[in-house]
Structure 1
């Protein structure tokens, strides 16, 4: 995947912003800022899933959760309506943060608008790049966050989340998801979610 000078500079600034996350995750004995680690994982999975991704898509994957901790979930009502409102506000917030960095790096308006379009998840299922981004988000969840999630929720909730995740993905995304390795319990719940659809 080709990397332009601007792209690398934007990545550096996105990573510096995400490295400020006070929430941390330990991987193989090393502590990382949570959103910094998430951004690296997004880039890694995108590179595997769509090695010829456009520059706009590469940028979007890297800043998809930029500074997410600044708008905590509990600042909205802890119900479905509150959750949806939080998600909508986050998308706009990420788009603003990313735009400021992209302008600083010297990207043209067209690229910045495209990154915003993708961050706002416009035309899912219709726009190929929006769909690819969604597939990558789902694959990152399934590969890195699904198994730890299992211990925190009951089976019915997990099955419901898996079914919603599956619904958002493309056939190519499904194919990649089924190649991931899961624990015995994780695989059993994936199988149940897919057979109950």
Structure 2
């Protein structure tokens, strides 16, 4: 039975992410951290926008591909260092994914489009970049907000929530409010947004 380029690319992205030495416990099971993130991104995308293009589907899975290979600590621990790390990561994720897509025999135009999405170009202007950003924010709010709440003070958290909210579309906002937050986190979100 022949496999499609999409099936091959998905399998190879998963294989890369499965090598993450960092693990996360979810529902009493241990997962390689970036593989779990990739699966959450893809599932959220398909729930939120079931007719997403193949390019967005791959970009969602590869959003953090091999992220552990570029450590935050290898950059200055200030705002400038953080922003440079984020920019370098985007390029690294796009390049790593492009290599996989070449192997899966996608054409150059498709590979360029996936790279464009992973690098989050033309946010707010390009519909698919915005869709991907909505999914990133929804996954953050659903799965990663709570650990952040335990690490940062209330004012910093309100700032993080507001920045996240401002990156999202109206459709993304509506979807975010359906997430089953803890009462404490929901109160924090409402306070941050002035609801």
| TM-score under structure 2 length normalisation | 0.97
Deviations along 1:38-78, one digit per CA (max 9) or x if unpaired, are 00000000001110000000010000000000001111011
Q: What's 2:125 paired with?
A: 126
Q: What's 2:156 paired with?
A: 157
Cα distance between partner residues in 1 of 2:26 and 2:180: 18
Q: Can you give the 5+ residue segments of structure 1 that lack an aligned partner in the other structure?
A: none
Cα distance between partner residues in 1 of 2:120 and 2:26: 29
Does 2:93 align with 1:94?
yes
Give the C-alpha shift of residue 28 in structure 1.
Answer: 1.5
Q: What's 2:146 paired with?
A: 147
Q: Can you give the 5+ residue segments of structure 2 that lack an aligned partner in the other structure?
A: none
Give the C-alpha shift of residue 150 in structure 1.
Answer: 1.0
Cα distance between partner residues in 1 of 2:54 and 2:13: 15
Give the C-alpha shift of residue 152 in structure 1.
Answer: 1.1
Cα distance between partner residues in 1 of 2:184 and 2:156: 14
Q: CA RMSD in A?
A: 1.0
Cα distance between partner residues in 2 of 1:25 and 1:126: 34
Give the C-alpha shift of residue 181 in structure 1.
Answer: 1.1
Q: What's 2:169 paired with?
A: 170
- The number of residue pairs the alignment matches comes to 193
SS in 2 for 1:136: helix
Cα distance between partner residues in 2 of 1:183 and 1:147: 9
Give the C-alpha shift of residue 26 in structure 1.
Answer: 0.7
Following superposition of structure 1 onto structure 2, how do residues 36-185 of structure 1 map, counting pairs within 5 Å? 36-185=35-184
Q: What's 1:20 paired with?
A: 19
Q: What's 1:11 paired with?
A: 10
Question: Structure 1: which 4+ aligned runs deviate by more than 4 Å?
Answer: none
Cα distance between partner residues in 2 of 1:153 and 1:122: 29
| TM-score under structure 1 length normalisation | 0.96
